[in-house]
């Protein structure tokens, strides 16, 4: 009897995993379709250990507004194996021309940055001089002078407007911190690409959040590409 119960339990568990995997894949492909992107076979994989452990994988590609974009999924853990399950984010990635994005830049909700600082130690932040923006977002960069040029008023307004639309008003209370954890997005600039990371696994409901960010992400991409063509300008 015990063996039969064990077998039945194992079968039920495997069936649950199979159903969840099918559901996740269907939602991922559904997001790709509503964005007009083509789902891709799994890969390539990327991993890094920096303020936690990240693993990410490209799942779709195509164009939005005439610009090539990619869809990725990222899992993040505080520790490599211990602790709760991973945090999942959906990434809209804009590849940019060679030489663009040489300056690394990260813009994340201040509440999230405070948690990471408490876990891994403080990071060196850059102030933009915009009180509303600096109280809402934390900025980390490899080049403060160039980052200040990138974070112009247009980009700051776009980030603040996106946050007000999808997260709500900024604040230091528990409700605002929970809202940031549930819906706050992260902007990253790396060599050759811009990444916009929103919480949650890829699913059609995220379409509006990704499309709404596209105007200011495209403006940032153009600025980086122009700077790559003219190295004397900020990049």
Share of the chain above pLDDT 70, in %: 71
Tokens 């995997």 — which residue?
21
Q: Would you say the pTM of this structure is higher than 0.95?
A: no
CA distances from 52 to 11, 22, 76, 87, 101 (A): 34, 28, 7, 11, 23
User: 201, 194, 184: which is closest to 93 by C-alpha?
Assistant: 194
Question: In which band, very low, low, confident or very high, does the pLDDT at 18 lie, cut at 50, 70 and 90?
Answer: very low
CA distances from 105 to 85, 95, 126, 187, 201 (A): 27, 15, 10, 8, 24
Average pLDDT over residues 156-177: 78
User: pLDDT tens digits for 192-233?
Assistant: 999 999 999 999 999 999 999 999 999 999 999 887 666 554
Return d(Cα 105, Cα 167) in angstroms, integer. 22
Residue-range domain boundaries for the chain = 2-229
Q: Residue 15: pLDDT above 60?
A: no
Least confident of 69-73, 112-116, 155-159: 112-116
User: pLDDT tens digits for 89-102?
Assistant: 999 999 998 666 56
Q: How do beta strands 105-109 and 38-39 pair?
A: unpaired
Q: What is the pLDDT of residue 204?
A: 96
Tokens 């649950």 — which residue?
16
Q: What is the pLDDT of residue 93?
A: 97
User: pLDDT tens digits for 38-79?
Assistant: 999 876 788 876 767 888 999 999 999 899 999 999 988 776
Average pLDDT over residues 26-39: 94
């Amino acid at each position: 009897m015990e063996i039969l119960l064990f077998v039945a339990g194992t079968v039920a568990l495997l069936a649950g995993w199979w159903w969840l995997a099918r559901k996740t894949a269907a939602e991922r492909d559904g997001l790709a379709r509503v964005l007009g992107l083509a789902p891709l076979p799994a890969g390539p994989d990327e991993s890094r250990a920096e303020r936690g452990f990240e693993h990410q994988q490209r799942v779709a590609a195509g164009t939005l507004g005439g610009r090539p974009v990619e869809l990725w999924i990222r899992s993040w853990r505080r520790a490599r194996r211990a602790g709760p399950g991973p945090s999942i984010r959906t990434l809209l990635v804009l590849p940019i021309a060679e030489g663009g994005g040489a300056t690394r830049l990260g813009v994340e909700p201040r509440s999230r940055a405070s948690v990471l600082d408490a876990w891994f130690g403080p990071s060196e932040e850059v102030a933009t001089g915009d009180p509303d923006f600096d109280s809402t977002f934390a900025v980390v960069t490899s080049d403060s002078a160039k980052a200040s040029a990138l974070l112009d008023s247009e980009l700051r307004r776009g980030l603040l407007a996106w946050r007000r639309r999808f997260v709500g008003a900024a604040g230091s209370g528990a409700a605002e911190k929970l809202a940031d954890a549930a819906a706050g997005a992260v902007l990253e600039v790396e060599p050759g690409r811009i990444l916009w990371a929103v919480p949650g696994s890829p699913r059609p409901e995220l379409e509006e959040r990704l499309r709404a960010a596209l105007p200011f992400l495209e403006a940032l991409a153009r600025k980086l590409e122009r700077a790559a063509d003219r190295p004397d300008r900020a990049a």
